[in-house]
Amino acid sequence: MSKDVILGVCVICGKEIKSKWGAMQKDGLWICAGSCSRTYDKEKKTWSLEKWDELRRRQAEYDQASLQELPDKVKAAVGDKKVVGFVTGFGLIKKLTATIIVTEDSIVFYDPKITGADKTEIPFPQIVSAMYMLEIGVPSFSVTTQSGTTKLILSGSKKDTHEPALALFNILKEKLSELAAVPISETHNKGLIKEVWSFYAPPQLAVMGTKHSENKTTESIIDQIKKLAELRDARILSPEEFENKKKELLARL
Ligand SMILES: [Zn+2]
């Protein structure tokens, strides 16, 4: 994300959020990590419907503005989907930079090559595990589904690509945690030349579709829809967000 793009305004202190580093999104709104985030959790229950509407309207304007700032190739790679974040690696030939994009419901690996762009889109429910690796200063993402592993190295990238790439990985984790009824498991190994952050999707995502977990999955999906309906009734989710999420969940039954 370009440094000049304002992603939103912290709903507690009013500070402009220009990078996902040190900030987070809750209920679709931006908040500084740390004390603002804790204050938000306490205060949001007391907010009026008018205040929620106003905050949502303002955030939608920022979302629109930051989408317009997206590089053309990112727009082309995801079409009409809402981009949650992306990171670009600098290649030897600048025109051929590789991009990793996280949308509302998928991760997209976009690898332009002289012979034509290589694009792989993986919907969240198919992800069994994901790994972020930093080797000799070069970040890479790999995502494993039941049919195999897709890896993209941000080749020739500057060392400072690491920070935004790791931030994007954390967004991916957050998105998958939203889908998961139980917490994802995580490992982190730090070495001299290699650092690895990896996580594994919970069983109801990983073994989806197998007979063994069918009943449990159905129950947990219905529970999740009920919870989402409560959030919609409390006006934390918009009716449209609720419908989208419901559709997503029902598709997994
Ligand atoms: Zn703040």
Residues 111 and 153 in one domain: yes
Q: Do 199 and 230 share a domain, yes or no? A: no
**Torsion of Cα atoms, 68 then 74 then 75 then 81, to 10°:** -100
Distance from the CA of 36 to the center of ligand 1, in angstroms?
5
Same-domain pairing of 92 and 119: yes
- Report the residue count for the chain: 253
- Both 143 and 178 in one domain: the answer is yes
The mean pLDDT of the chain is 79
The Cα–Cα gap between 246 and 55 comes to 24
The residue segments making up the domain with residue 54 are 8-67
**Domains contained in the chain, number:** 3
- Long-range own/partner contacts, residues 115-120 (CB < 8 A, 24 or more apart): 117/77, 119/77, 120/150
Centre of ligand 1 from the C-alpha of residue 141, in Å: 30
Q: How far is the CA of 168 from the centre of ligand 1 (A)?
A: 20
Question: What pTM did the predictor assign?
Answer: 0.55
* 107-111, 129-133, 154-158, 177-181: least confident range: 154-158
Same structural domain for residues 82 and 197?
yes
Same domain, 94 and 131: yes
CATH of the domain at 150: 2.30.29
Write the pLDDT tens digit of every residue in 56-74. Answer: 888 888 877 776 677 777 7
On whether both 198 and 242 belong to a single domain, the answer is no
27 CA to middle of ligand 1, Å?
A: 15
Residue 13 within a domain: yes
DSSP state of 236: S
In a domain, 1, yes or no: no
Q: Is 3 part of any domain?
A: no
Q: Which of 27 and 218 is assigned the larger pLDDT?
A: 27
The predicted-structure confidence for 83-102, as pLDDT tens digits, reads as follows 888 887 765 455 557 888 99
Are residue 30 and residue 90 in the same domain, yes or no?
A: no
Gap from CA of 32 to ligand 1 centroid (Å): 4
Could you read off the pLDDT of 153-165 as tens digits, one per residue?
A: 887 666 667 877 8
21 lies in the same domain as 94: no
Q: Do 83 and 193 belong together in one domain? A: yes
Asked whether residue 2 is domain-assigned, the answer is no
Span from the CA of 241 to the centroid of ligand 1 (angstroms): 25
End-of-domain residue from the set 48, 67, 86: 67
Task: Compute the distance from residue 31 Cα to the ligand 1 centre, in Å.
Answer: 5
Tell me which H or E stretch contains 198. strand 194-200
Q: How far does residue 38's CA lie from ligand 1's centre (Å)?
A: 10
Q: Are residues 111 and 196 in the same domain?
A: yes
Location of structure tokens 């500084």: 32
Do 44 and 145 fall within a single domain? Answer: no
| Residues 192, 196, 197: CA angle, nearest 5 degrees | 140
Task: Please state which of the ranges 12-21, 77-86, 208-217, 221-230 shows the lowest mean pLDDT.
Answer: 208-217
Query: Does 73 fall in a domain?
Result: no
Centre of ligand 1 to C-alpha 46, Å, is 18
Confidence of residue 209 (pLDDT cuts 50, 70, 90): very low
151 in a domain, yes or no? yes
Decide if 194 is inside a domain: yes
Q: Does 98 reside within a domain?
A: yes
